[in-house]
Amino acid sequence: MTFDSQAYAAQLQDKVARLRDLLAPFDAPEPAVFDSPLKNFRLRAEFRLWREAGERHYAMFSQDDKRTPILIEEFPIASLRINQLMPQLKAAWQASAPLSHKLFQVEFLTTLAGDGMITLCYHRPLDEHWHAAASKLTADLGVSIIGRSKGKREVIGHDYVVEKLDVGGRTFSYRQPEGAFTQPNGTVNQKMLNWAYEALGDRSDDLLELYCGNGNFTLPLATRVRKVLATEISKTSVNAALSNLSENAVDNVTLVRLSAEELTEALNDVRPFRRLHGIDLKSYEFGSVFVDPPRAGMDPDTCELSRRFDNILYISCNPDTLAANIAQLNDTHRITRCALFDQFPWTHHMESGVLLTRR
């Protein structure tokens, strides 16, 4: 793969044009554009292993052909740390029967801060010989190792990495658990966080956050408001978010494990929820809502809920569903800021953001 800067610039302009066209019906301002490094931007990678000529090799498959492996020795879009670890890990499994026996998949997770974790997936139970070999590998490579087999997980070191991101003049520390969602492009994620931080601005009222994940946006946005009510349905992400709030001494956030749809029902007094016991929803003076939904966007009821707030700060990984949601909100809110974040260079995917304010 070549990394031609002119080709990248042309592709980025195509994405800008697409976003501009999608938001044109809503009289959106010109989007701010946040580019990506051309290579070594991806902080996580997953490989199947393919046996050929008696050796296992890293392999990937094209979208069009899931049967023919593409054997690789390096992965230039992945972080420098992943590319450093790939040959070291391969040499280790080649030299160790306990590490290589029925190993079929490898996952890397790294951070801008230099932390690293490798997950090794097996079609067999893990025994004491594997544990001894993996413990030595952890020490040799300076990373945590997770071993996975059917229904079992062995952790050597930590089952998370720690990322550090600078937002609004402050460094935030993020625990990112194995198996949980994290933003893959750390450099662009940091730009995205700073854009959201500036777009929200300093406020004296409260923020509702839906789909908060591990607290990626929660931590910096909480410093801009009086208090935050945040929701997330994944138990792993909730636990990480609670740890991150504590680690960063952010004490004005209440986090509840509810889906966006369930919180909508709670705020509409449709039914009570045990997980909201002791939380007085009426004590909040919400001026803004922050949403970072999955690719399907907000469901219609959640979209209607967001209409109640003066400000809707919306990060989207799918510009088509973003446009569809804005169409539902356009009669009461207008776009005052928008941005494109090139989280996924060399693909057609893009991340975007809008700030909608009440008309």
Give the number of other CB atoms < 10 A from CB of residue 21.
11
CA dist 189 and 342 (Å) reads 9
CA 183 to chain centre: 3
3-state secondary structure of 78: strand
DSSP assignments along 159-186, one per residue: SEEEEEEEETTEEEEEEEETTS---SBH
Residues in CB range of 153: below 8 A, 6 or more apart: 146, 147, 159
Whether 121 is catalytic is: no
Q: Which of 212, 303, 317, 338 is catalytic?
A: 317
Q: How many residues does the chain have?
A: 359
What does the DSSP assignment read for 88-106? HHHHHHHT-HHHHTTEEEE
Residue 237 parent element (H or E): helix 235-247
Q: How far is CA 265 from CA 111, 124, 208, 273, in A?
A: 37, 45, 14, 9
Residue type, 268: N
Q: Is 318 annotated as a binding residue?
A: no
CA 104 to CA 100: how far, in whole Å? 9
Whether residue 128 is annotated as binding a ligand: the answer is no
User: Which member of 178, 209, 262, 351 is catalytic?
Assistant: 351
214 known ligand binder? no
Output the six-digit token pair for 68.
């023919």
Q: 228-231 and 253-256 as β-strands: parallel, antiparallel, unpaired?
A: parallel
The closest alpha carbon to 47, from 144, 145, 149, 121, belongs to 121
**Does 232 appear as a known binding residue?**
yes
Amino acid at residue number 252: N
Is 154 annotated to bind a ligand? Reply is: no
338 among known catalytic residues: no
Tokens of 213: 């994940």
Which residues fall in the annotated binding site for S-adenosyl-L-methionine?
183, 211, 216, 232, 292
Which residues fall in the annotated binding site?
183, 211, 216, 232, 292
Which residues are annotated as catalytic?
317, 351
